[in-house]
Amino acid sequence: MNILGIETSCDETAAAIVADGTKIISTIVASSQAMHAKFGGIIPEKAAREQLKAIIPVIAEALGSREKVQELDAVAVTVGPGLIGSLLVGVETAKALSLAWNKPLIPINHLVGHIYANWLTEDTPQLPAIVLLVSGGHSELILMRNHGDFTYVGGTRDDAAGECFDKCARILNLGYPGGPAIEKAADETREPAGSLRLPRPLINEPGFDFSFSGLKTAVSRTKDTEPNFLAWELQEAVTDVLVKKTLTAAREYAVKSVLLAGGVAANKKLREKMAREIEKSGLAVTLHVPPFNLCTDNAAYIAAAAAFNNYPVPPIKIDAIPSLTIDNGLAKVA
């Protein structure tokens, strides 16, 4: 089963072909990130214009040759959540291709897509699982009982983890996107640990909610501290909270696996801390972490999600839905 995935929810334009939901045949990601770096954030109208120019070359490159169309069983596309102008580029292109090629079209919730990066590896996760989905727009704990069966357990009340890194990196003049910039600065810190402590918001509160917006204020109040050390401490604070809540959820829901997903899952400190704390906890859970390049936005996980949730919808009934949540599940009927 070969699926062509298309993803344009944020500032990437991506296409990929995945076989049987697990094997990447090709994956192409074009990003307008460098253009946005100048402004310290995404300008939606500019992102969409770049995507409109990139979408056909990116799909053509993922396909390789015209003949490959015959080997496709379906097309899958991100319908939301995301920026409306960006989503429309992928959704309308996918509808046109589905009709022209006479292939089924499978609408995919971007958040569900991120989770399926964990199926693009040799090591298939056992279910049920607790998913920590942390990206620029989302910080959520999700209970995945089965394919297509997702329950929201908790999430951020304000800024997402990636958004917190992006905003703090801007305050510290470390560049954009902030997550990798904070990580690099933290790796370069020479200040001894312990000379400053940022808050760990909600870490000891009951429940599974996060709140990261206060860290911006805390970071801007301590600007006289060495920026690299501040980045180090910020990374410690965010990952401490994420790891603690994830482990508590894994215990409460008695799951077999913990899955990381989303751009922030590329963070090495988060990966190491999660592995170490799971080990220390004695819980019988296996940690799954996608390869680095599959954590941030791409189309391979969209194609993978479609293979495990193969519910085509007539193209004419599919629309972009900017405000889709995990509780909307697969977006079967868009």
> Which residues bind to ligand KG4, rule: CB under 6 A?
10, 135-137, 162-163, 165-166, 177-180, 183, 262-264, 266-267, 296-297
Is the sign of the CA dihedral 313, 322, 147, 24 positive or negative? Answer: positive
Partner in contact with 183, chosen from ligand KG4, Zn ion, none, beta carbon below 5 to 8 Å by kind: ligand KG4
Report yes or no: 154 and 209 within 8 Å, Cβ to Cβ.
yes
Please state, in angstroms and rounded to a whole number, the distance separating the CA atoms of residues 140 and 312. Answer: 27
> Is residue 135 part of the contact set for Zn ion (CB under 5 A)?
yes
Report yes or no: 15 and 74 within 8 Å, Cβ to Cβ.
no
Report yes or no: 74 and 310 within 8 Å, Cβ to Cβ.
yes
Please state, in angstroms and rounded to a whole number, the distance separating the CA atoms of residues 177 and 254. Answer: 35
Position of minimal CB gap to ligand KG4? 179
What's the min distance (Å) between Cβ of 32 and ligand KG4? 13
Please state, in angstroms and rounded to a whole number, the distance separating the CA atoms of residues 206 and 308. Answer: 34
Closer CB to ligand KG4, residue 234 or residue 285?
234
Size of the site for Zn ion (CB under 5 A): 2
Residue with tokens 């949730």, as numbered in its chain: 309
Is the sign of the CA dihedral 323, 327, 331, 334 positive or negative? Answer: negative
What's the min distance (Å) between Cβ of 102 and ligand KG4? 31
What's the min distance (Å) between Cβ of 228 and ligand KG4? 15
Please state, in angstroms and rounded to a whole number, the distance separating the CA atoms of residues 6 and 215. Answer: 35
What's the min distance (Å) between Cβ of 274 and ligand KG4? 13
User: How many other C-beta atoms lie within 10 A of the C-beta of residue 102?
Assistant: 6
Partner in contact with 162, chosen from ligand KG4, Zn ion, none, beta carbon below 5 to 8 Å by kind: ligand KG4
What's the min distance (Å) between Cβ of 109 and ligand KG4? 12
Closer CB to ligand KG4, residue 165 or residue 208?
165
Q: Which stretch binds Zn ion (CB under 5 A): 55-63, 204-212, 218-226, 289-297?
A: 289-297
Partner in contact with 85, chosen from Zn ion, ligand KG4, none, beta carbon below 5 to 8 Å by kind: none
What's the min distance (Å) between Cβ of 35 and ligand KG4? 16
Closer CB to Zn ion, residue 12 or residue 92?
12
> Is residue 297 part of the contact set for Zn ion (CB under 5 A)?
yes
What's the min distance (Å) between Cβ of 154 and ligand KG4? 18
DSSP string, 264-290: GGG-HHHHHHHHHHHHHHT---EEE--
Partner in contact with 8, chosen from ligand KG4, Zn ion, none, beta carbon below 5 to 8 Å by kind: none
- Nearest of 113, 161, 108 to residue 137 by alpha carbon: 161
Partner in contact with 201, chosen from Zn ion, ligand KG4, none, beta carbon below 5 to 8 Å by kind: none
Per the rule left: phi > 0, alpha: psi between -120 and 50, beta: everything else, 318 is beta
The footprint of Zn ion (CB under 5 A) covers: 135, 297
